[in-house]
């Protein structure tokens, strides 16, 4: 018996991807409807400013522009350059706090 070809995707994995996408959409919709999404964004914004993340990223942007020259840097270049560093610089404590807030929200809205 021959197994599935490499380029074939099983229906169950497609179904799982669809269910995951539907679940993410439902959660996002509930976050928006309740205003929790905006509260989470505001919390994140405040925490990132408080820990100096915003200043660190701004300094890194200036370094990149100085290094490459203003005429040789596009916004897309800058975004590509700083995104990995920006994500890496988010303190674990901030990530954990946001994750806990999301888990609490999901527990309170378990009917999703």
Could you read off the pLDDT of 71-105 as tens digits, one per residue? 999 999 999 999 999 999 999 999 999 999 999 99
Does the reported pTM lie above 0.85?
no
d(CA 84, CA 88): 6
d(CA 48, CA 51): 5
Model confidence band, residue 46 (pLDDT cutoffs 50, 70, 90): very high
Identify the residue whose tokens are 């021959």.
2
């Amino acid at each position: 018996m021959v197994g599935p070809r490499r380029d074939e995707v099983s229906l169950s994995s497609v179904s799982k991807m669809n269910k995951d996408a539907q679940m993410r959409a439902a959660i996002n919709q509930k976050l928006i409807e309740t205003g929790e999404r905006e509260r989470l964004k505001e919390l994140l914004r405040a925490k990132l400013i408080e820990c100096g993340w915003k200043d660190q990223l701004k300094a890194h942007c200036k370094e990149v522009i100085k290094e490459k020259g203003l005429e040789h840097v596009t916004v897309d270049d800058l975004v590509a350059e700083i995104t990995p560093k920006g994500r890496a610089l988010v303190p674990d404590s901030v990530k954990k706090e946001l994750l806990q807030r999301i888990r609490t929200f999901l527990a309170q809205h378990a009917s999703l």
